[in-house]
Every structure is written in C-alpha cells, then in structure tokens.
Structure 1
Amino acid sequence: MLRSRTLTSLVRCRIYTALVCLLMSLPAQSYAGKILVYPVDGSHWLNMNILLRELHNRGHELTVVRSSTSWYVPEQAAHYTSITIPTSHASNLEDPEYMASFLKRNIEIRSGDASILSFIALQQETLTLLMEAHKASADMVRDILQNKDLMKSLKSTGYDIMLTDPGFAGGVVLGRYLELPMVFNVRWITNAEGHFAIAPSPLSYIPTIGSQVSDKMSFVHKLKNFLHYGIGQYIDHGITRPLYQGVISEFIDPDSNIYSLIQGADLWLMRVDFVFEFPRPTMPNVVYMGGFQCKPSKSLPPELEEFMQSSGEHGVVVMSLGTLLGSLVPEISEVIAAAFARLPQKVVWRHLGEKPSTLGNNTLVVDWLPQNDLLGHPKTQAFVTHGGTNGIYEAIYHGVPILGLPLIFDQFDNMIRLTSRGVAKVLEVTALDVDILTQALQEILDKKKPYRENMRRLSLLHHDQPMKPMDTAIFWLEFVMRHKGAAHLRTESYKLPWYAYYNVDVLAFLLGFVTVIVLLFVMTFKALCKAVCRQKQTKKDKVQ
C-alpha cells in the first residue's frame, strides 16, 4: 500500500513538472512594443484613450503626439508620454465654443423651410468646418516633418507601429514618412466611412454618410445616396487631397495622395459591430471591435445611487449629448425639461449652462455623469441621446432602448441604423414641442412596445462573441507588431489606375477585338457580294 502511494505521488510529481515545463516553453501571450500614437481630438480621443490604457496595462510603451492647443488630450498622463507640437491655431474640432456655435447655426438653418437652399447652407457649414480642420491637421504634420531634431528622435526610438485615427490624416502622413506599419482606430476617414476606401461598396445597398437611408433603398433613396456619395467625392478631391498634397509631395512622393496613403494601412480596427451596422463587403485586414469601450457598470456615487433608487417602480431616464455638445439652445432645452417634468420616471440629465425654467422636481441636472454606469443600472429604462457612437454602443451593451435627437455629422445615419433594428425612436430636434417629445418618451418607456425587447435581443447578439472586442483589437495590434506589418492581408488594388481597377482596359480590348471581327466579317461579306454580283453581271453580258 505504501509503495503504491509512493508511485502515485511520483507520477503526479512528474506530470506537474511536465506541465510546468510545457507552460514555460509556450511563447508569451503579449508582445510588449513601442507604439507611436497620433490621435484625433474630441470624442475620437475618448475611445482612443481607452485603447491606450489597455495597451499600457499589457506592457506596451506609448508615445502620443498632441497639439499644444488640444482641449482633450492631456500632456501629462500615467499611461503614456507625450510629444507636444507648438501650434498657434487650434483645430475648430478641438474648441467646444466653436462646436457650440456650429451646432447653433445648424439648428437655425434646419428650423427654416426644408428647401434646396437650406440643404446647400447646411453642406456649406460642414464643408467650411472640414476645410479648416484638415488645414490645421496638414499644417501640424508639416511642422513635425520640418523639425529635424524631432524627426531624428522619432526615427531613432525604434517604434514598432503607428496607431492613428484617419479621420484627420496627419498621423497617416507621419507614419508613412517614418515607414512604420500603420494601424487605424477607425470608422471615418477624411471624406467617408472607412470601408469605402478599401472594400467594394455598391451604392445600391451601402448607405454613404449623410444620406440617412437604410440598406433597403427605393429608387429615390438610391438617388439620395448617390448625391451624398458625390459630396464625399468632392470633399476628397476638392478639399482633403489638395490640403495634404503639398506636404506629401515635399516629404513622401509627389505621385501619392492622402487617399492612397490611407488605403495602404496594414490594419483597420473598425469601431463597428454588425448588430448595429448594415452588412457589407469587407477585407481581411479589417478587424471589427464595435463596443470595445464598453464594460460592466460600477457602483454609482452614494448621492446618485440614492436618486436612482428613489425612482421606485417607474425607473430612470438618462440624457446626455456627449463630449462636444453639452447643451442645446435654450428654447429647445425648455421643451425637453417640460416634457421630462410630465414623466412619472426620474431623469438624470447632463446639461451645461443655465437650468431651464420648466425643470421638474423629478429631473436631476448634472455637469457630468458616469454614462456607462448609469446605463448599466437596473433602474435605467431609456436613454435620450444625440446619437454619438460611444453612447450608442454603451446602450446596446446594457440593453437600453434609445430616443434619438440627432444634431450633426453621422448622428442622423447612426439613428437610421437603430430605428431599422427596432430599438430606437428618432425626433427632429428643430420640430420638438412638449407633446411630441412626451409622447415619444412614453412610447419608448412602454413595456408593451417592442423597443426594450428588441434592444435586449441586440445586446445578447453583441455579447455572444468568441472574444471580447477589446481583446480582439489588442491581439491584432500585437500581431502587426510581431510580424512587422500585415501586408499579406492588404489588397494592392488601390495601386491600380481606375481604368484597370474597373477593367475598362480589358473591356476596351474585348470591344475592339469584337469590333475588328465584325468589321472583317462585314468587309468580307461585302466583298463576296460584290464578287457574286460581278460574276452574275459577267454571265449576263455573255448571254447577251
């Protein structure tokens, strides 16, 4: 018996030793590297920063390039070191006051008659904003490339990759100049949604930004989609390419342009999940990480928790307009406050500026709120939002139905996607009155309506993945670092001239070949006919 026990113990010891040796022989799961980060400011920085914190936690060394006029990207942070570029003129997207005035002008234009002139005025406002922002982006990267000491330092550091957001393409230019593998944290590029640059995107069922149509288009919707695609092409060829071309021609390659540099990225970390986005063609180097910023809710501060619990069986409505847009014009805020006051639910509202006079006792107005933690609270019944991507995915993650008040940019298109899924109701903010808003809120809150159940189903689909979106993003980032790029996943089709990409040259050859054959046939047939006619004429002459 003793010998048997001794043998058993010996066998166990050998098994444990073998397992330890096997584990020690396995390659490390994390590749710690040096990452140069060139972010876009504003709300884009919020999700980029979440990715950076996770990369730092996994041992990566991060360097963030920022503007001296940045409002959102801190110069000092525990999880990265920064390189601050002196700039005298801030990008308008970095300035909350500019964005507030931009929103005000947009609302004033939309409040008028829906006419061609109003449409043109709205497009002009957006084009002006984009032109100024891209000019600031191009000027900043020029300043960087002209700084010889800085460039020498960047080259000698030995970065493994460039991580950037191509919505404004300064980071794309710098990464290409440094010849670093390029990884995008992306949904939008300089003129459109990111897929349009690298994957087939038929306009018959792929909506473009601004079109406000779903993937099920009528003929009129297709016309509208085609129009907005044309606007995107104008932005690309008429604004962004010319603004970046000077610095590209001087420092990289005069035969390149900003669009082709974007198309040459190794990896696209796409902030998209197809529970939200419409299905579409894609490419091997596109990795989907929609909702990567979402996480389980944490405990609320005691005062806020007490307010939530005081709502009783009715629950709470949460409202927030995101990072750049803390409040609306006073007239609209008065309408919203009055509608909230009619509800039996309690309301937590992030609102900056003067409190509306119609504010009810059931509404708590705050300068800041823990949005993710509130959306994950069991008392939360609905989310009133402008339709920003971060808030939308947090609502999907926690299964909270949405009342949308889209204001600018992609928010209108985002809400189209949610309404097509049956999880949201959308109102035009310029046409709000107390009755309309109250009715819409009551409909979203009504448990007999399908909004909550549809959102819960969407949430289940979003959670049912083999890997968490953040883990997927980190794996592929480290994949690019380990392999010094991912060229084997990237199509080179963007290097083809347009006539080769669309096989115009092949079609022209085939058409020419067929034309020649037909001409030869016709000419041969005519010659034969003439010969036959001459032969008949000769016989006729002989008979005579």
Structure 2
Amino acid sequence: MKSFFSQSNVITGLFLALSAFTLSCSGGKILLYPVDGSHWVNMKVLIEELHSRGHSITVIRPKSSWYITEKSPLYTSITIQDNVNDFENFFEDYLSKAMEIERGEGSGLAFLKLQYDLFSMLSTAHEIACKMVSIILEDKMLVKKLQDEQYDLMLTDPAIAGGVFLAHYLKLPLVLNVRWITSGEGHFAIAPSPMSYIPLPGSGHTDKMGFAQRVKNVLFKTFTFLQNRFVVGPHYDILIDKYLDYKTDIVGLIQAADIWLMRADFVFEFPRPTMPNIVYMGGFRCKPSKPLPADLEAFAQSSGEHGFIIMSLGTLVKSLPADMANAIAAAFARLPQKVIWRHLGDRPSNVGNNTLIVDWMPQNDLLGHSKIKAFVAHGGTNGVQEAIFHGVPVLGVPLFFDQFDNLIRVQGKGAGKILKLSELNAEAFEQALRESLNDGSYKRNMQTLSTLHRDQPMRPLDTAIFWIEHVIRHKGATHLRSEFYKMPWYSYHSVDVFLVLFIVAAVCMLSTIAVIRYVCYKICCRRKSKSE
C-alpha cells in the first residue's frame, strides 16, 4: 500500500510539472520597448529567460543605441532612425561637476547651474523619446505591421515612457519592468504613500522621520510633482493630444499598466503599502557565482586568511579626480587584504602591491567567492542587490541619482556604511574600510538579508516570468488593477465627500441655532406679554 501511494505521488507530481510546463511554454508574441544603458542590462535578463521558454520577442530600438544590438539570437529588432545627443559625455561632465560641488569646490551658483543642466538633460531625453514614438506612428506601414502581428503584450521600462504610450495606442496589455517612472520612484504613482514614513528619493531619509524630516519629505514630493508637470509631462501631452482620442496624462497611462514587475523587494525596501498588481522581483538578475578566470582566481587565493576586497563605481564612471584616486590607492595599500579595483582612469602613482587594477571584472562571481570580505560600490541597484544575494557588506560611495537612497537602505539595515564624497580622503576611506572589515555586525546583518532574500517560494526571475505569461494567458490582468487613476483628484482624496458632509453639518448646526433662537424669542415674547 505504501508503495502504491509513493508511485501515485510521483505520477501526480509529474502531471503537475507537465501541466506547469505546458502553461509556460505556449509561446507568446511580445513587443518590447526598452530603455538603454543599465536599464537594458536588467531587461536583457528577462529577454533571455523568455526566449528560453519559447516566446517570440520583437525589440524596438533607436539606431543610436549604446547597448541594444540590431541583430541578436534572442529577438528580432525594429530599428528607428533618431537624432540623439551624446548623453555619455553629459554623464561624465555631470559627474565631474557634481563631485566638485559635493567636495565644496563649487559655489551655490554652480549648484543651481548643475540642477538646471540635469533638468535640461531630462527634458531632452523625454523629448527625443516622444519624437521617436511620433516617427513610429507617422509610418503607417510600420503601424499596420505592428497591428497585424497581434502581439500578446507590450513589455517596457517606464523610466522613459515611449513604450507605455505605444502600448496604449496599439491597445496592448502592458507589463512594466520598473523601479523608476517619469515622475520618480514607481510606488508613489500607484500605491498609497503617506509622507509621514515613506521617504522620497533624494531626501536621504529612512522610514523613521522626525518633524523636520517630514517637512523636507513633503517639499521633495512637491518638487517631484513640479518636475513631472513642467519638465517631463509637456512632451507626452503633445503625443496624447495628437494620437489619443481621450484626455489623460503620461502618469495616468503608466498607472493603467496591468502588471508592475518591481525591481525591489522588502528585504531591500522599507515596509510600505502596495497594490495587488505590483510583483516584487528584487535580485531577479542575481545568480550563483561561477569559477573565476585563472589569473583572478590565483590573485584571490594569494590573499590568504585576510581575503580580498573589490571596488567598482559602475559603468558610467570612467575615472575619478587624480587626488581622490590617489587617496583611495593609498588607503588600499595600507590594508592586509588584497584589492581588485575596476578603474579606467590614469593609474595612481601610489598603487600598493596588494592592489590589482582592472578594466573589467566578473562582479557577481567575485562577490560569490569564498574569500570576499567587502564591496566598495557606488550604490547602483544591480550591485547592491548582488551584494545582498551573496551576503557581502558594502562600503558605499554614492555619486548621483538613486545611489544614495539605495545605500541609505543598506546602512539603515546595518549591512553597510556610507562615505560621502565630501568626506573622502585617505584617512577617512581607510577608517571606513577597516570598520566595514573588522566590525562583524556588518557581515552578520548582510548575511541575514541574504538569507531572507533567498528564502522565497520561487526565484524572483521565475516569479517575473510567471506574471508575464499570466498576462499572455488571460489577455491582461484587469482583475488586479485598481482604476483609481480615472478618478479626479478631489474624488480620490474625498474632498467632495468632506465638503458635502461639512455643508450638511453646517446647515444642521445653523438650523438648530435658528430653531433655538426662535424658541427663545417666543418664550421671551410670552413672558413680556404676561408682565404687561
């Protein structure tokens, strides 16, 4: 009897596995509208997995793309002629100026000029994106081809929202690979976000804020609203007025997405309200480490009991100011650990014998090595999530954009430390590194985060693919999507309800006062007539 039940369980398990395989492998047709740069690195992970499961993928790409190749075994491409400025040079110039201001070498006027340049760049990026959509929609043959293909869904990154608009124009179910949208961090557009304990990006706050911090948080919210309303939104308004037959704005189109694949999770994020169509896939691109190339493995093994440190400041950072690079090199040289440093600038004159400078490193594989001790990082989302996955404490040197906020979350959970550019010199850098290496709480807390991150019923990547296929199977996910975005602001915040209740209460109160005064008046009149 026991044998019978064992065989029955095996057959049932095989049947369920085959059913799941059949569900996931009925290949769908996916139209993909990506964002270039590091966003493409994330999107490509999804593309590889979707392709391996039999889905057909078409990628719309600009001719000037940095990383999105025209020919690929993973997808077919539609290349759109565009006219794009050299944003890579912009980022280099912006970083250089931001470093000067952070280190106290720039004036207040220089800071304002830098902010103006950033807004101008954002405006230009969205303007170019909207022009690219216009080029697509003005090409009637291309539009007909896109319509005739009968795609099952649009997968896009809404940081630049051309794909969002095109999905609505083509009336396709919409799945977002998202953390950032045109108006900032994605949660703030779709989920309730009380300003009292949910910090705005850029504020530098955790979820524990005093009064002054809450005031700053509200001001940052106002600033974000104005940025979207006057810097970004007008470019999309032109598209909406020209090509859609209903009135909305770009945030409303983003809010109407079926599924939000959020590149974060609550190991990383502070606890906050969410929505049923937000699917958390933080760390979806993380994977176990592979063996290192022979030269790197030999260098790592030569570190002995002290182990090694790695340092990388991301793909956009080509070099650091010479004095800063020399300070970092001097601090590394005084450590007993070996160091692998991705540095593309001029080689510092004081590099120690323990330091290996490289143009590129297999970051994930190094973070998963048994002798890794710490990660010096700029705080990009990908690097932070890889550090969490492998349980490696972080010394963060944030440079721009969301990096400081990412590192605030790591530091707030006791798994890393932040060193601002304004504080960076050889002594401060060495002290911060030694604290990260010698204080065991950083390692323990990061390993706790790693354990929590890995303790999930499904891999984050499998979860993401499941929900993409769910949208394909059911032609959308309207059962999970709230339609609050169709409500006017005064209805969403119940201003009209409170106004009516106030009027009713005021009428009742005034009526009661009037009746009381009338009764009092009558009583007084009777007394007066009796006395006469």
Pairwise TM-score range, normalised by the shorter structure: over 0.9
1:499 alignment partner in structure 2: 490
Partner of 2:132: 140
Is the contact between residue 109 and residue 122 of structure 1 (CA under 8 Å) also seen in structure 2? no
For the residue of structure 1 that corresponds to 2:215, the secondary structure is helix
The alignment partner of 2:185 has SS state of coil
Sort the Cα spacing of 1:12 and 1:316 in 2 relative to 1 into closer, same or farther, 3 A.
closer
- Any idea what SS the aligned residue of 2:200 has? coil
Alpha-carbon separation, structure 2, partners of 1:381 and 1:114: 36
Is 1:50 aligned to residue 45 of structure 2? yes
The answer as to 2:322 corresponding to 1:330 is yes
Work out the CA distance in 1 between the residues paired with 2:425 and 2:369: 29
Q: Give, in whole Å, the separation in 2 of the partners of 1:335 and 1:288.
A: 39
- SS for the counterpart of 1:244 is helix
CA 1:515–1:486: 2 relative to 1, 3 Å: same
Code of the residue aligned with 2:225 in structure 1: it is: Q
CA contact (8 A) 1:213 1:416 kept: yes
Distance (Å, rounded) in 1 between the aligned partners of 2:490 and 2:411: 39
Partners of 2:102 and 2:421 within 8 A in 1: no
Counterpart residue number, 2:242 = 250
Cα distance change on mapping 1:429 and 1:515 into 2, 3 Å: same
8 Å Cα contact 1:289-1:470 kept in structure 2 = yes
Distance 1:213 1:436 in 2: 23
Distance 2:120 2:509 in 1: 54
* Distance verdict in 2 for CA 1:113–1:222, change over 3 Å: farther
Larger mean CA deviation between 473-482 and 215-224 belongs to 215-224
Read off the aligned partner of 2:466 and give its amino acid letter.
F
Give 1:261's aligned residue: 253
Q: Does 1:79 align with 2:74?
A: yes
Report matched runs for 1:439-518 at 5 Å: 439-446=431-438, 448-518=439-509
Bigger drift between 130-139 and 460-469 goes to 130-139
Instruction: Establish whether residue 227 from structure 1 lines up as the match of residue 235 from structure 2.
Output: no
- Match 1:32 to one of 20, 24, 27: 27
Q: Who wins on radius of gyration, i.e. which is larger?
A: 1
Change (3 A) 1:20 1:117: closer
Which 5+ residue runs of structure 1 have no aligned equivalent? 1-8
Of residues 41, 49, 60, the one that matches 1:65 is 60
Q: Is the 1:297–1:374 Cα contact (8 Å) retained in structure 2?
A: yes
CA contact (8 A) 1:112 1:118 kept: no
2:292 maps to 1:300:
yes
471-480 vs 319-328, which moves further: 319-328
Q: How does 1:334-483 map to 2 (within 5 A)?
A: 334-446=326-438, 448-483=439-474
- After superposition, the Cα gap between the structure-2 partners of 1:355 and 1:249, relative to the gap in structure 1 and judged at 3 Å, is same
* 1:540 shift after superposition: 2.5
Measured after TM superposition, the shift of residue 313 of structure 1 is 1.1
- 8 Å contact kept, 1:273–1:289: yes
In the TM superposition, what is the alpha-carbon distance from 1:359 to its structure 2 partner?
1.5
Instruction: Give the superposed CA RMSD.
Output: 2.3
Shift of 1:445: 1.1
Relative to structure 1, is the Cα distance of residues 11 and 536 closer, same or farther in structure 2, using a 3 angstrom cutoff? closer
> By how many angstroms is 1:277 displaced?
0.6
Q: Is the 8 A contact 2:27 2:55 kept in 1?
A: yes
Query: Structure 1 CA distance, aligned partners of 2:498 and 2:49?
Result: 50
AA aligned opposite 2:71: Q
CA distance in 2, matches of 1:305, 1:96: 33
What is the alpha-carbon distance in structure 1 between the residues aligned to residue 46 and residue 448 of structure 2? 27
Tell me, yes or no, if the aligned pair for 1:96 and 1:325 is still in contact at 8 Å. no
Aligned to 1:201: 193
Quick one: percent identity of the two aligned structures? 53
TM-score, normalising length from structure 1? 0.93
In structure 2, relative to structure 1, the CA distance for the partners of 1:217 and 1:20 (3 Å cut) is: closer
2:188 and 2:90 mapped to 1: Cα distance? 29
> Which residue in the other structure is 2:512 paired with?
521
Q: Which residue of 1 aligns with 2:167?
A: 175
Q: 2:116 aligns with which of 114, 124, 131?
A: 124
Which has the higher mean CA deviation after the structures are superposed, 429-438 or 170-179? 429-438
Structure 1 CA distance for aligned equivalents of residues 422 and 8 of structure 2: 75
For residues 10 and 317 of structure 1, the distance between their equivalents in structure 2, rounded to whole angstroms, comes to 55
Residues 48-97 of structure 1 show CA distances to partners (whole Å, capped at 9, x for unaligned) of 1111111111111111111111111111111111111101224x5xx322
| SS of aligned partner of 1:489 | coil
Structure 1 CA distance, aligned partners of 2:39 and 2:511? 63
Change (3 A) 1:26 1:457: closer
Comparing 51-60 with 133-142, greater Cα deviation is found at 133-142
After superposing the two structures, state which structure 1 stretch, 293-302 or 122-131, moved more. 122-131
Residue 178 of structure 1, CA deviation: 0.6
Q: Deviations over 1:180-238 (max 9, x none)?
A: 00000000111211111111000100011111100000111112211211111111111
CA change 1:404–1:206 in 2 (3 A) is same
Q: Which amino acid aligns with 1:494?
A: Y
Q: Secondary structure at the match of 1:268?
A: strand
Q: Deviation at 1:29?
A: 3.3
CA contact (8 A) 2:94 2:114 kept: no
Contact 1:45/1:73 (8 A) holds in 2: yes
Q: Which residue of 2 aligns with 1:162?
A: 154
Letter aligned with residue 57 of structure 1: S
For residues 128-182 of structure 1, give each alpha carbon's deviation from its aligned partner in whole angstroms, at most 9, with x where no partner exists. Answer: 2211211111111111111111111111111101000001101100111011000
In structure 2, relative to structure 1, the CA distance for the partners of 1:346 and 1:25 (3 Å cut) is closer
- Give SS of 1:313's match: helix
Structure-2 change in CA distance of 1:162 and 1:14 (3 Å): closer
The alpha-carbon distance between structure 1 residues 41 and 513, as it changes in their structure 2 partners (threshold 3 A), is: same
Query: How big is the shift at 1:114?
Result: 9.6
Partners of 1:226 and 1:19 lie apart in 2 by 53
Q: Provide closer, same or farther for how the CA distance between residues 172 and 20 of structure 1 changes in structure 2, counting only shifts above 3 A.
A: closer
Deviation of 1:20 (Å): 8.0
Change (3 A) 1:265 1:11: closer
Q: Structure 1 stretch 350-359 or stretch 34-43: which is displaced more? A: 350-359
Structure 1 position 454, deviation (Å): 0.9
The residue aligned with 1:213 is 205
Separation in structure 2 between the aligned mates of residue 468 and residue 144 of structure 1, nearest angstrom: 36
Distance 1:470 1:320 in 2: 25
| CA displacement, residues 481-532 of structure 1 (integer Å, 9 cap, x when unaligned) | 0000000100011110011001111111111111111111111122222222
* CA distances 1:350-400 after superposition (whole Å, capped 9, x unpaired): 111221112222111111111101111111111000000000000000111
TM-score, length basis structure 2? 0.95
Name the stretch that deviates more: 305-314 or 126-135: 126-135
- CA separation in 1, counterparts of 2:421 and 2:435? 17
